[in-house]
Structure 1
Amino acid sequence: DINYPEQEILSAFANPKALCYKPDPKGLLSARTAIVKYYKLKGIFINIDNIFLSASTSEAYTLLFKLLMEPGDSVLVPVPSYPLFEHLAQVEGVKSISYPLYFDGGWHIDFYVLKNVCKKNTRAIIIVNPNNPTGSFLKQSELTELIQFCKNNQLALISDEVFCDYPHYDDTERVNSIAQINEILTFSLNGLSKAAGLPQLKLGWIVINGQGELYHEAHNRLEFITDLFLSVSSPVQHALPTLLDLAPIIQEQILKRVLSNYSWLKKQIKAESVCRLLPVEAGWYAILQVPKIITEEELLLELLIKDNVIVHPGYFFDLQTEGYLVVSLITRSDIFQTGINYLLSRIDRLTQ
């Protein structure tokens, strides 16, 4: 299993300052300073006043929907991607409109469709960078076109960057973060769930950027909204500097396992295999294309009932056609290999 530095993590919550309640709508200065340091180590320089803490990335979305949209307005969301967007939008009375990513050996935004599905009441577009589950990064050329698209349609750009600490290899063409982009109104989201592998501690953040009156108005209104909730606990805010200092120790172990599992999986999918493994640039997941002999749901049930193996169906992430399974690369390697062997054997039997 992942060896967490348990004593250091627990000691971070023994700070006597956590017994005092001095709320700040943006989050404690010490916590936001730690986030500035987190980005600086990546070569990204952000203004500490542009950081707003939230209890999770999911909560961050709801805060931004409140900020940017009225009930009945719409937001553009990518498919395939994170399956909660539609539900988070619905809770705020907002309509989610899907725009596709197409695959041609790599994943790309379909700008032709994107431009046609954007409505007059669309207020923002979401990107997931790197994407979950495709593991694909936004490319520099796409960002240029995306910024112009947002300018033309007066849209804010929301970037979910929770998997940015888990690239599988280097690529100068990829966009690692939009936290420094200020040509348009932008919101960069991240948090402890993935950055430190600590989802139970419930702390995320938003980095807002932009310029002019629109940016200042959005900044002030976001501060008003976060002041209404003050949802992040004092103990985790005081612990954040230590937790982010420890994060690389955890990230290194997670990434080592993910890369090992992906490398092993690639070796199992031989050229003559009826399955195909899609390339992955980052993150914790891999997509397997499998024969469409039975539906994804029927295959999942076969694997669960007969082999005690759990995988995600492609439709869970809005992959547009049948015949895809999503597997977790963070699973312990011995369990992962056993499960994949069962999966491939089951598919072989079904195709005979």
Structure 2
Amino acid sequence: MAAGCGVYSGVVRFSSRVDISEPNPIAQAEAAAQCSGIVLGKLNDSNPTRHGLAPAQVPGVYAADPRGDRRAREALARFLTGRSPDDSGGADIRRTGDTGIRPVDPDHLYLLSSTSQAYSWLIKLLCDAGDAVLAPKPGYPLIESIARLECVEAIEYQLCYDGSWFIDTAELRELLEGPDGERIRALIVINPNNPTGSYVKPSEREAIVTMCRAHDVALIADEVFYDYALEPFAGNARLAGEPGVLTFALDGFSKMLAAPQAKVGWIEVSGPDEDVRGAMRRLDVIADDYLPMGDIIAERIPELLVAAPVQTKRVRERVRGNLAMLRRILADDPHGVTSLLRPEGGWNVLLRVPSVIDENALVLRMIADHRLTGQPGYFFDMASNGYLAVSLLPEPDEFVRNIRAVLDTIDTMIGE
């Protein structure tokens, strides 16, 4: 069990929007027959694939498993269990000393189209209208938008920078114990965060698990960038598999394969048994209402998992190479007024530019002079002016041109 995880006596409160009332007598009898291995015919079977009506282009029988195709989940569970922590520069919470690795249970995985959909499902699971979730700032504005669509408030907590990024856990405690504490149903962490690139540190993890457990708050861990370690500190670990508090770990192919068109994401559920059972009972209802991932997509998951390590390594080499080039360019800049905030992981970084230059003016000038646009810091709710987000993904020649265009624009604007 993770550090700080003592005896757990609380139970997470789930939203009232998910109906898990007792099944009617017919549904109970059907479930009993299934448990006894009895296959019942269905007068109302409207699944055309069971009656020889599926098209040749879409063969097979549609199983309608709300968690997603069982074979795909088993393949994913094997992949997640066997994933080497060394690939990402961190540890693995599932490693249990001399006893090896706790395997991922395929029944604790939910397949869906994206982590965005996962956020939506989890907010439905945990929050009633008017409730709140805690989300990090600076950060990508996706969470606030999805929460708003679910009639839920996203309350920000700050990531602070003092040479490296850290979570202000004292502020988290104040928020959970403050006037909005009763409305807060989940704490969201991005591990590593975008665009700050900061992983959750071991001491932060311990504090977060303890606070969530004390306040019966669920933990949502978005780990889509986890594999792309840049300049991490020691002791990083995935939150996937965290046993100390009800935890929903999000990941998917979009970042793992660098293929945003590969709309495959997943939720891994872990934590105290009672909370996990309650959560999965309700998640099954949500997943069933929205229908499982299509079999056409799910059947490709095993082969894509085979390709994942090579593709992730390829992207990792690109972003690390561009980061090294960026440091060299900044070190050689004669003006030396632009700096890099330490990136621990991910594939985006933040440049600190002179605060006397307005961020909007800087990007507009780059558009006019270099036909190059960008995302200023205020897009991510940075606390002050003077930041620019930069992707490490472009091919090296293009990346160098982009950085030199930024520095040229800054030099021109300072000289005016």
Q: Any idea what SS the aligned residue of 2:188 has?
A: strand
Q: 2:72·2:299 contact (CA, 8 Å) conserved in 1? A: yes
Paired residue for 2:386, among 319, 323, 330? 323
Paired residue for 2:259, among 198, 207, 213? 198
Q: Structure 1: how far apart are the matches of 2:233 and 2:170?
A: 26
| Counterpart AA for 1:128 | I
Q: Any idea what SS the aligned residue of 2:244 has?
A: coil
1:162 paired residue number: 224
| Counterpart AA for 2:182 | K
Shift of 1:294: 2.6
Q: How do 1:1-352 and structure 2 match up within 5 A?
A: 19-42=60-83, 44=94, 45-118=103-176, 119-168=181-230, 171-175=233-237, 177-270=238-331, 273-352=336-415
| Counterpart AA for 2:366 | L
Q: 2:191·2:199 contact (CA, 8 Å) conserved in 1? A: yes
Q: Structure 2: how far apart are the matches of 1:285 and 1:111?
A: 24
Q: Any idea what SS the aligned residue of 1:85 has?
A: helix
Q: 2:65·2:292 contact (CA, 8 Å) conserved in 1? A: no
Shift of 1:314: 0.8
Shift of 1:140: 1.1
Shift of 1:270: 2.2
Q: 1:76·1:96 contact (CA, 8 Å) conserved in 2? A: yes
Q: Any idea what SS the aligned residue of 1:76 has?
A: strand
Q: Structure 1: how far apart are the matches of 2:402 and 2:371?
A: 8
Q: Any idea what SS the aligned residue of 2:342 has?
A: coil
Cα pair distance change 1:16/1:232, threshold 3 Å: same
Q: Kindly tell me the number of residue pairs found equivalent between the two proteins.
A: 337
Q: 1:285·1:328 contact (CA, 8 Å) conserved in 2? A: yes
TM-score where L is the length of structure 2: 0.78
Percent identity among equivalent residues? 37
| Counterpart AA for 1:239 | R
Q: Structure 1: how far apart are the matches of 2:302 and 2:235?
A: 31
Q: 1:18·1:238 contact (CA, 8 Å) conserved in 2? A: no
Partner deviation per Cα, 1:248-269 (whole Å, 9 max, x = no partner): 2211221111111110110111
Q: Any idea what SS the aligned residue of 2:192 has?
A: coil
Partner deviation per Cα, 1:156-214 (whole Å, 9 max, x = no partner): 00000001111125654112x11221211000000010111222121100001122322
Q: Any idea what SS the aligned residue of 1:46 has?
A: coil
| Counterpart AA for 2:74 | T
Q: Structure 1: how far apart are the matches of 2:59 and 2:133?
A: 38
Shift of 1:17: 7.2
TM-score where L is the length of structure 1: 0.92
Q: Structure 2: how far apart are the matches of 1:245 and 1:33?
A: 13
Shift of 1:291: 0.4
Q: Report the structure number with the largest CA radius of gyration.
A: 2
Q: Structure 2: how far apart are the matches of 1:18 and 1:350?
A: 62
Shift of 1:18: 5.6
| Counterpart AA for 2:172 | L
Q: Structure 2: how far apart are the matches of 1:143 and 1:341?
A: 38
Shift of 1:149: 0.8
Q: Any idea what SS the aligned residue of 1:100 has?
A: strand
Q: Structure 1: how far apart are the matches of 2:313 and 2:239?
A: 23
Cα pair distance change 1:318/1:170, threshold 3 Å: closer
Q: Structure 1: how far apart are the matches of 2:164 and 2:231?
A: 14
| Counterpart AA for 1:70 | D
2:36 paired residue number: none
Q: Structure 1: how far apart are the matches of 2:61 and 2:231?
A: 44
| Counterpart AA for 1:237 | A
Q: Which is further off, 212-221 or 186-195? A: 212-221
Shift of 1:144: 0.5
Cα pair distance change 1:92/1:285, threshold 3 Å: same
Q: Which is further off, 92-101 or 294-303? A: 294-303
> Cα RMSD (Å) of the superposition?
1.7
Cα pair distance change 1:113/1:203, threshold 3 Å: same
Q: Structure 2: how far apart are the matches of 1:242 and 1:288?
A: 38
| Counterpart AA for 1:145 | A
Q: Structure 2: how far apart are the matches of 1:321 and 1:159?
A: 27
- Please, which runs of 5 or more residues in structure 2 have no aligned partner? 1-55, 85-93, 95-102
Q: Any idea what SS the aligned residue of 2:158 has?
A: strand
Q: Structure 2: how far apart are the matches of 1:316 and 1:331?
A: 21
Q: Structure 1: how far apart are the matches of 2:262 and 2:352?
A: 35
Cα pair distance change 1:279/1:345, threshold 3 Å: same
| Counterpart AA for 1:68 | L
Q: 2:67·2:292 contact (CA, 8 Å) conserved in 1? A: no
- Please, which runs of 5 or more residues in structure 1 have no aligned partner? 1-14
Q: 2:232·2:343 contact (CA, 8 Å) conserved in 1? A: no
